[in-house]
A and B are shown apart, each in its own frame.
Chain A
Amino acid sequence: MIAELGLAALWLAAALAALQLYAGAMAQRGHAGGLAVLVRPAAIVQGLACAFAFAMLLWLFAITDLSVKLVATNSHSAKPLLYKLTGAWGNHEGSMLLWVAVMALSGALIALVERRLPERTMLATLAAQAFVGLGFYAFLIFSSNPFERLVQPAAEGLGLNPLLQDIGLALHPPTLYFGYVGLSVAFSFAVGALLTRQVTPEFARVMRPWVLGAWVFLTLGITAGSYWAYYELGWGGWWFWDPVENASLMPWLAATALLHSASVLAARDALRAWTIMLGVVAFSMSMLGTFLVRSGILTSVHAFAVDPQRGTFILVLLALYIGGALVLFALRAASIAEGERFSATSREGALVFNNVMLTAILGIVLLGTLYPLLTEAFDVRVSVGPPYFNPAGAFFAVPMLLVMAVGPLLRWRRDSLGRIQRPIVLCGVIVLATTVAALAIGEMSILALLGLALSAGLAVASLLPLRGRRLRRVPLAVWGMVVAHFGLAVAVFGMASETAFSQERLAAVTVGETVRVGPWQVTLTEVLPNAGPNWTAIEGHLAASYAGGAPVELDPQSRSFWAPVQQTTESALATRWNGQLYAVVGSEAREEGAEARWQLRLWWKPFVTFIWYGGVLVALGGAIALVGRVGADLRRRTVRRRAAERRAEGTA
């Protein structure tokens, strides 16, 4: 009964989306009649219906209803309740339903609160939103029905992918989805604005909070995903340039560019076509990512359940949405003129430069991700990895970091470098000093050296906009920028430091033996088998002491799950303020007559945690800016209302 209720709600939501699209489209052509008033209510009820459908799915997972196919294939009665619930979206169908539900709820929110845009643009936006939604409803109902029943209820569920039985990963997909979906809203705004040719600063101000929100979630999602990959996959790396990772990085790059170009449009009425273009591209990248990981078209270490039929469905949706939006853009771009002019040395100039760099990095990542797909069409299997991405990305990232340090100090429209000579010299000195210091410490790759030097320069430069101001008077939006830029410097420092100073030891040790890595001494005290509710493992017990200090106990495991069959490595981490010790225990190597030796892999990674502290700071900066923007909007609205009330009193 619950499953049927959910499915019915899904159909209702789909029907409302159709109504929303039809009424919104008719309103564009000027003969909607009474229909136009239906658009907003349709969007609101659609959001509620879809959220209800998702709530029903959660309920089914909570009670482990094994007559529902999705529950039977992805859950198990023995699982803890938390993972039963997260199992609802830890699979293809459930995650698509979550996606649509979040998108429908955002549509409802726009319909409820957004009153600043011209009514026609608003209706066009909601129609575009409904158009995107309809495709996903069709996908769910016809190809990936989460509420499908089994003819015969299963005796027991098949379990959840053990890699996903982890709190980090349970929260990682929804976080990314909020990001993706926020970008779908930006996409709908861009299409709406193209349809009505209303690309104005006001439009940018309306779109900006959505982009900001999406960007905060994407940043958090990527940061969490990277940390999860780092400690769970057991290979000691934090970024693999895997297609699944790129799938979330590409929309983030596009959204970062969009965020900055929307700021130029909002403040200076320039970059109109470019902002719209980025709005289309940002959402296209999240769709493309979904397509790449769901269709099985690319082989990935993350290896999702793959299905060419679903791949085809998403490809058709891609063609409709992105193709349609790009055609519309090509037809209309000429008629939305570029707006105000500015000189190269100005705040706009710096933002444009970094926009171009971000877009270039996006192009590099996109090319590297799609290249294997292209060559496979000619029967050549290649894999593109760090040797391509790192230098190619850095080629554009380095000038971007340099301009990023200076940009926020420049004035809008026209400025001269002479005016900000002193901060430039200061940053240059810091960069040089760091370079010399790093060279004195030891040999390292040129990329690591550049990263260290630039991060130091950027960290100082990012604080300079606060100089000489009363801190309590600085607007939240500026605080947000400062925190985010500083966070990026912290993250870059972590990356560079990990690359430059990491030490690795791989050893086959007997129980009682001690291994040194960096300042650490690690002793294997014992190896024991261990078993959990649905896995067995061998567990190494290590005593690790930093520079002769008191030992910490570490228990890395090599786990085997049987429902479904999978092997995972549970690394063990010892975190200090200046870095992490990373330990992995591997298989046993036993020679005839000799004592058992265990493979032990140890890394000492100085300041590696700064990567994720930085990521969180970047997201925090976005959140501060978002609060500032929304707060300012609310204040403006209150002021306007008070003024209207006073006028009303005056005339009375």
Chain B
Amino acid sequence: MRWWWIPLLLFALFLGVAAYQLTQPKDEFVPSAMIGEPLPAFDLRPALEGMPGLSSEDLRDGKPRLLNIWASWCVPCIAEAPQLERLRDEGAEIVGVAIRDRPEDVAAFLSRYGNPYTRIGADDLSEVQLVIGSSGVPETFVIDGEGRIAYQHIGDIRAEHVPRLLAELRKAGE
């Protein structure tokens, strides 16, 4: 056999492996670096009159909660609003952090799309958002009763994500 068949053989080998690999499923789950880390200390003023603000102390009373990062100007936040309501109806306590928002916009958003929150803090400079490793809105964290981050959900919550969030919340409470 002459050398000019060798490239073809190597190429055939590559094709075989690549074709096999393409049929294998890929794992899309990307674990966050913040999982297991304690929340840094913060104290946010209320984002809405008549509702309490949010501090890191509030999240250390032994009860696991969902911490939802959102904003009234965020379009996907509208999409996830019904799922937050559903999570609350299933018994989850949800606290919110409103990013770069105004009280009147917050009030308008909540009266239009529902208010699932027990507390909302106003993060006017994205300071809390930056230090807890959130890079966008919306984003949802599961915080265990000791104030540690147990789970991070990036992007809006869709119906199929609700069971996983509830399961993570239960796990964080154990």
Binding site for B on A (CB under 8 A): 155-156, 273, 277, 280-281, 284, 291, 295-297, 306, 308, 311-312, 315, 318-319, 322-323, 326-327, 329-330, 333-334, 370, 373-374, 376-377, 529, 531, 536, 538, 558, 560-567, 587-588, 590, 592
Given A334-B2, A560-B136, A566-B135, also A327-B8 (CB < 8 A)? yes
B7 adjacent to chain A (CB < 8 Å): yes
Which B residues touch A563, using CB under 8 A?
A: 136
Count A-B contacts at CB 8 Å: 102
Interface residues of B in 94-145 (CB under 8 A from A): 100, 125-127, 129-131, 134-137, 139
Q: Is the CB of B125 within 8 A of A319?
A: no
B13-37 interface code vs A (CB 8 A; 1 in, 0 out): 0110111111110100000000000
- Closest A residue to B126 by beta carbon equals A536
Say how far A308's CB is from chain B's closest CB, in angstroms: 5
Which residues of the other chain, B, contact A318 by a CB distance below 8 angstroms? 15
B74 within 8 A of A: yes
Counting chain A CB atoms within 10 Å of each CB, which of B8, B139, B155 scores highest? Answer: B8
Can you list 5 pairs linking A and B with CB atoms under 8 Å apart?
A296-B26, A308-B23, A373-B17, A560-B136, A587-B130
Question: When chains A and B are docked, how far (Å) is the Cα of A277 from the Cα of B10?
Answer: 14
Inter-subunit contact B26/A565 (CB<8 Å):
no
| A327 to B6 CA separation, bound complex (whole angstroms) | 10
Given contacts A297-B22, A315-B19, contact A529 B8 (CB under 8 A): no
CA distance A281 to B8 in the complex (A): 11
Chain A residues within an 8 Å CB radius of B11: 284, 322-323, 326
**With contact pairs A377-B20, A560-B129 given, residues A155 and B8 touching in the complex (Cβ less than 8 Å):** no
| B40: Cβ under 8 A from any A Cβ | yes
Instruction: Please report B residues at the A interface, Cβ cutoff 8 Å.
Output: 2, 4-5, 7-8, 11-12, 14-15, 17-24, 26, 40-41, 74-75, 100, 125-127, 129-131, 134-137, 139, 154-155
Q: How far is the CA of A374 from the CA of B34 in the complex (A)?
A: 32
Knowing A281-B7, A330-B8, the reply to whether A323 touches B15 (Cβ < 8 A) is yes
Contact in complex: A562, B74 (CB < 8 Å): yes
- Chain A, residue nearest B131 (CB): A588
Residue of B7, B74, B135, B139 near A326 (CB, 8 A) is B7
Q: Chain B contacts of A312 at CB under 8 A?
A: 22
Contact at B130–A326, with CB atoms within 8 Å? no
The reply to whether A567 and B135 form a contact with Cβ atoms under 8 Å apart is: yes
Q: Given A291-B18, A319-B15, A590-B41, are A536 and B130 neighbors across the interface (CB < 8 Å)? A: yes
A587-B131 in contact (CB<8A): yes
Q: Are B130 and A560 in contact (CB under 8 A)?
A: yes
Q: How far is the CA of A543 from the CA of B17 in the complex (A)?
A: 53
Q: Which residues of B contact A155 (CB under 8 A)?
A: 75
